[in-house]
């Protein structure tokens, strides 16, 4: 595998680049406490919750909900498990589904509607839900609304049908012209296709590195360019304008679903108020989802070449941190970056939050 041209190097960078729950156990409050009761009913008591699908068809569900005495776990209209303020349970015997959803219903406050973040498709390895995260003020990012992915050129007919059933309505392709030409997207029926080329086709930022250190630096420089580069600002502005206008069924992707896509998700989650450590965990999850593909790619190379190539396949904290550092250096604050680089004004940000947050 050789990648010596500048255009291919840019491609390498890219390739290397809740719905409301249920309220249960509500008590009748005295009129003097009606306001407090209404707030309590809207409040989501969960500080952590996650669904993980296992290869054997079972599901692991974990949660933490301080102050809650009982949590019912519901699926397909029936209670399948229950627990207390903290829980870690395994659910088996559910019928096959495109995506299995669970409602976590506490004895007070609002519940959560969750599924495994990964969408399993034959033609992708890193297609996942952008939501399912808690914000600093206790709200949660809805799942089943916005998605992120790697390249879509290998989607099967069954994959396309599944995405159509999941409601994918718009596909934002963040790749270069050469990437799109060499591996054109397969788009689900009825979905709108939008080109939002982040890197651009004439960038002189990238040159194929010859050492692992240079490769890591290329990734750092590339992350910074995704913040302040003219083509990047235009591309991300288009994506976020579209999500603000109509978030339902939005999908953005690049080649590996980790760099250009990673910054899109980091920006979205940060704008919604998700804490930095959670944003970082979402970014670094590409290492887990792409582990087998990356290992196979490196195993096919001579050891010396693999050592240089590995930083291009990784996502690393230093890469994402360089993007946030560029935001601070060029714009002073993330709010200023949202407004000046992405064109998201306070009114649009409120609309985005009203669409994507619950609680």
Strands (E), the chain: 19-20, 48-53, 59-64, 71-75, 78-83, 86-91, 101-106, 112-115, 128-129, 140-141, 146-149, 170-173, 192-195, 250-253, 357-358
- Give per-residue pLDDT as tens, 139-166: 999 999 999 999 999 999 999 999 999 9
Strand, coil or helix: 198 = coil
d(CA 121, CA 330): 39
Q: Could you tell me the fold of the domain covering 6-20+117-358?
A: 3.90.190
pTM: 0.89
* Whether pLDDT at 24 is above 50: no
- Give per-residue pLDDT as tens, 36-54: 455 566 799 999 999 999 9
Contact indicator for 185, 193 with CB cutoff of 8 Å: yes
d(CA 287, CA 39): 39
Q: Is 206 a catalytic residue?
A: no
CATH number for the domain whose boundaries are 22-110: 2.60.40
Give the mean pLDDT of 172-189: 97
CA distance readout (Å), 263 to 29, 138, 170, 223, 270 = 46, 23, 19, 8, 10
CA distance readout (Å), 355 to 4, 169, 265, 348, 350 = 44, 16, 16, 11, 9
Delimit the domains of the chain by residue range.
Answer: 6-20+117-358, 22-110
Give the mean pLDDT of 89-110: 97
* Tokens coding 318: 């230093």
Annotated catalytic residue: which of 13, 61, 226, 254? 254
- Give per-residue pLDDT as tens, 235-265: 999 999 999 999 999 999 999 999 999 999 9
- Give per-residue pLDDT as tens, 285-334: 999 999 999 999 999 999 999 999 999 999 999 999 999 999 999 999 99
Mean pLDDT of the chain: 90
One fold for 6-20+117-358 and 22-110: no
């Amino acid at each position: 595998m050789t990648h010596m041209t500048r255009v291919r190097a840019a491609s390498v960078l890219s390739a290397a680049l809740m719905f409301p729950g249920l309220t249960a156990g509500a008590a009748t409050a005295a009129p003097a406490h009606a306001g407090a009761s209404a707030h309590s009913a809207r409040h989501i008591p969960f500080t952590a919750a996650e669904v993980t699908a296992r290869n054997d068809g079972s599901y692991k569900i974990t949660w933490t909900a301080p102050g809650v005495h009982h949590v019912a776990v519901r699926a397909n209209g029936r209670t399948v498990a229950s627990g207390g303020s903290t829980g870690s349970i395994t659910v088996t015997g559910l019928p096959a589904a495109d995506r299995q959803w669970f409602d976590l219903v506490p004895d007070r406050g609002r519940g959560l509607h969750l599924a495994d973040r990964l969408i399993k498709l034959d033609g992708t390895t890193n297609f996942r839900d952008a939501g399912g995260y808690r914000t600093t003020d206790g709200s949660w990012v809805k799942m089943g609304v916005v998605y992120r992915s790697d390249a879509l050129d290998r989607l099967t007919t069954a994959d396309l049908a599944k995405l159509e059933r999941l409601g994918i309505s718009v596909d934002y392709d963040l790749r270069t012209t050469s990437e799109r030409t060499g591996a054109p997207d397969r788009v689900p029926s009825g979905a709108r296709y939008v080109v939002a080329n982040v890197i651009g086709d004439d960038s002189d930022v990238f040159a194929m590195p010859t050492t692992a250190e240079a490769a890591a630096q290329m990734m750092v420089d590339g992350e910074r360019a995704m913040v302040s580069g003219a083509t990047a600002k235009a591309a991300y502005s288009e994506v976020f304008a579209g999500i603000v206008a109509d978030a339902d069924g939005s999908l953005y992707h690049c080649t590996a679903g980790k760099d250009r896509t990673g910054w899109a998700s980091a920006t979205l989650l940060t704008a919604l108020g998700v804490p930095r450590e959670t944003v970082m965990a979402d970014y670094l999850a590409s290492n887990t989802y792409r582990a087998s593909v990356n290992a196979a790619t490196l195993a096919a190379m001579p050891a010396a070449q693999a050592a240089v190539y590995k930083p291009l396949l990784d996502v690393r904290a230093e890469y994402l941190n360089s993007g946030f550092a560029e935001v601070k250096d060029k714009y002073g604050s993330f709010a200023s970056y949202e407004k000046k680089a992405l064109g998201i004004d306070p009114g649009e940000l409120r609309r985005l939050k009203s669409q994507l947050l619950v609680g």
